[in-house]
């Protein structure tokens, strides 16, 4: 299974699938369809003839039950997303494969003088003796979430090649645009047809999450006034300076680099502008609904304050909710969490139940009527040039998928 998941992972990361937050299309980039079409082709080659790709970029497939006597068990789905993060280079990925990792610092790129130091990434020591896949320092790795795709595809191939493996109806889904918050905008839960599902989109081996941040985005438009600097006194309004001032109003200790666990944050993700005009964008996150609402109110109050200071209309705000904490949707069906815990233990993996400091397609799907916890895909340092994944973690993730299916088949 190890060779299979590696082969698939390397094939999938070779396809550029970066999504685009500024695009209004669905999917946001047509290149995502290149991988989606390949996945449909591979699923059909496995013998899953009903695999399909729709106009919105969703891949769906069904493996029929083979349980004797027509036994009925819950229909279980497994979901991953095809797109990679748009905020780091994702084309021409050239991975490095480090076999029998020695536990020491890893040179990512001699040319760029990039070294992944154990002192800074102490979790590396847990993977001594394993096979690590890293970037070459020029791109991200796209393990988020092509590792999840490879793990699901490997498990599906195993099932189709081993008719003695008993299972109920299994649903497979691959979505576009998760990285830009639109992964399930047009996902048809009824057509998918699962009773419960799991996203394979978590981090290190053992991670299991059924609660996540509440999330909102905020885009702020700032109108300045450009005057020749030689005659600017009492006339110029520099939009760049005003944007910087607004950012300074937000609490420094509530930036992501100073928070952890259940602590929420304001994260500035884009700043563009000139003297005349500027825009700044934030993502707002908190596990607590009350704290989440308070953070949004603080942004609105800060806008009001800045307009009182510089004139009505100087600052304009667009803020919208993106997703909510799935905990209250999953807890009434807690057996989905218990099954995942048991499946990990069967694979010799220690479950690490923790809140997601982010969100997954599963968070929104849970509110759409499909309880959907998140299981590890195995990667570290997503969205950047220091991204890596242990091959053995991917192998274990595929094993966990099979174990979950086995547990439901035994009900």
Q: 58 pLDDT exceeds 80?
A: yes
Residue 240: CB partners within 8 Å, gap ≥ 6? 224, 273, 274, 275, 278
| Residue 83 is a catalytic residue | yes
What are the backbone dihedrals phi and psi of residue 144, each rounded to the nearest 5 degrees, phi first? -95, 90
Distance of CA 172 to CAs 7, 25, 159, 187, 328, Å? 20, 24, 13, 13, 24
Helix (H) or strand (E) holding 389: strand 388-390
Give the pLDDT of residue 387: 96
Both tokens of 6, joined, read 């590696």
Return the pLDDT at 40.
98
* Tokens representing residue 60 in the block: 């769906």
Q: Mean pLDDT over residues 148-158, rounded?
A: 98
Active-site residue identified among 83, 177, 209, 361: 83
Cα distance between residue 62 and residue 77, in whole Å: 9
Long-range contact set of residues 222-230: C-beta below 8 Å, sequence gap at least 24? 222/246, 222/273, 222/277, 222/278, 222/279, 222/280, 222/314, 222/315, 222/316, 223/276, 223/277, 223/313, 223/314, 223/316, 224/274, 224/275, 224/276, 224/277, 224/278, 225/275, 225/276, 226/274, 226/275, 226/276
Tell me the DSSP string of 268-279.
Answer: EEEEEE-SSEEE
pLDDT confidence of residue 88: 85
Position 119 scores a pLDDT of 95
Q: Which of 178, 207, 286, 361 is catalytic?
A: 178
Terminal alpha carbon distance of the chain: 26
Position 78 pLDDT exceeds 80: yes
**Greater pLDDT, 212 or 391:** 391
- What are the domain boundaries of the chain? 2-212+325-409, 214-322
DSSP per-residue codes, 83-122 = -B-TTS--SS---EEETT--SS-EEEETTTTEEE-TTT-G
Q: What is the pLDDT of residues 219-236, one digit of tens each?
A: 999 999 999 999 999 999
State what percent of residues in the chain have pLDDT above 90. 92
- Locate 244 and state its tokens: 């910087």
Per-residue pLDDT band for 332 (boundaries 50, 70, 90) equals very high
In whole angstroms, how large is the CA radius of gyration of the chain? 23
CATH top-level class for 2-212+325-409?
alpha beta
Mean pLDDT of 34-61: 97
Which band of pLDDT confidence, cut at 50, 70 and 90, is reported for residue 90? confident
List, in order, residues 6 or more apart from 78 with CB less than 8 Å away: 152, 155, 170, 171, 172, 173, 197, 198, 199, 200, 401
Tokens of 250: 């937000």
d(CA 69, CA 71): 5
- CA distance linking residue 80 with residue 135, whole number of Å: 21
Q: Which of 9, 36, 17, 4 lies closest to 134 in space, CA to CA?
A: 9
Average pLDDT of 84-95?
91
Catalytic status, residue 87: no
Q: How confident is the model at residue 360 (pLDDT cuts 50, 70, 90)?
A: confident
pLDDT of 356 reads 83
pTM passes above 0.85: yes
Residue 390 has pLDDT above 80, yes or no: yes
Mean pLDDT of the chain: 95
Is the C-alpha dihedral spanning 309, 298, 184, 367 positive or negative? negative
Domains 2-212+325-409 and 214-322 share a fold: no
Cβ neighbour number for residue 311 with a 10 Å cutoff: 12
Helix/strand/coil for 282: strand
Count of residues making up the chain = 411
Confidence at 155, pLDDT banded by 50, 70, 90: very high
d(C-alpha 176, C-alpha 56), whole Å: 8
CA distance 385 to 248: 29
Q: What CATH code is assigned to 214-322?
A: 3.30.70.360
Is it the case that residue 1 has pLDDT exceeding 90? no
Q: Is cis: bond before 377, omega within 30 of 0?
A: no
- Classify the C-alpha dihedral 3-8-10-11 as positive or negative: positive
């Amino acid at each position: 299974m190890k060779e299979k998941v590696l082969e698939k992972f390397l094939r999938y990361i070779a396809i550029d699938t970066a999504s685009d937050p500024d695009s209004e299309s669905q999917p946001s980039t047509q290149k995502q369809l290149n991988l989606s079409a390949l996945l449909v082709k591979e699923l059909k080659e496995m013998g899953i003839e009903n695999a399909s790709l729709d106009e919105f970029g969703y891949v769906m497939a069904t493996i029929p039950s083979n349980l004797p006597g027509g036994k009925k068990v819950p229909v279980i789905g497994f979901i991953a997303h095809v797109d990679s993060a748009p905020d780091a280079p994702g084309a021409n990925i050239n991975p490095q494969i480090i076999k029998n990792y020695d536990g020491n610092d890893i040179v990512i790129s001699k040319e760029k003088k990039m070294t992944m130091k154990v002192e800074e990434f102490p979790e590396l020591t847990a993977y001594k003796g394993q096979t690590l896949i890293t970037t070459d320092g020029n791109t991200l790795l796209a393990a988020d979430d092509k590792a999840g795709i490879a793990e699901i595809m490997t498990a599906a191939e195993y099932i189709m090649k081993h008719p003695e493996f008993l299972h109920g109806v299994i649903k497979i889904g691959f979505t576009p645009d998760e990285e830009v918050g639109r992964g399930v905008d047009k996902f048809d839960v009824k057509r998918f047809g699962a009773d419960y599902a799991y996203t394979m989109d978590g981090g290190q081996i053992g991670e299991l999450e059924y609660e996540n941040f509440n999330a909102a985005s905020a885009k702020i438009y700032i109108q300045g006034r450009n005057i020749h600097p030689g005659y600017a006194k009492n006339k110029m309004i520099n939009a760049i300076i005003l944007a910087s001032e607004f950012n300074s109003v937000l609490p420094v200790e509530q930036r992501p680099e100073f928070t952890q666990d259940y602590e929420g944050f304001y994260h500035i993700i884009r700043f563009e502008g000139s003297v005349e005009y500027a825009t700044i964008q934030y993502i707002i996150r908190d596990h607590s609904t009350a704290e989440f609402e308070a953070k949004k109110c603080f942004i609105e109050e800060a806008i009001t304050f800045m307009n009182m200071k510089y004139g009505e209309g100087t600052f304009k705000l667009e803020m919208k909710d993106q997703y909510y904490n799935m905990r209250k949707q999953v807890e009434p069906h807690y057996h989905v969490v218990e099954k995942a815990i048991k499946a990990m233990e069967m694979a010799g993996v220690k479950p690490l139940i923790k809140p997601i400091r982010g969100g997954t397609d599963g968070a929104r799907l849970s509110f759409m009527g499909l309880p959907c916890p998140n299981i590890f895909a195995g990667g570290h340092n997503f969205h950047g040039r220091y991204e890596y994944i242990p091959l053995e973690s991917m192998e274990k993730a595929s094993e966990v998928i099979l174990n979950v299916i086995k547990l439901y088949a035994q009900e």
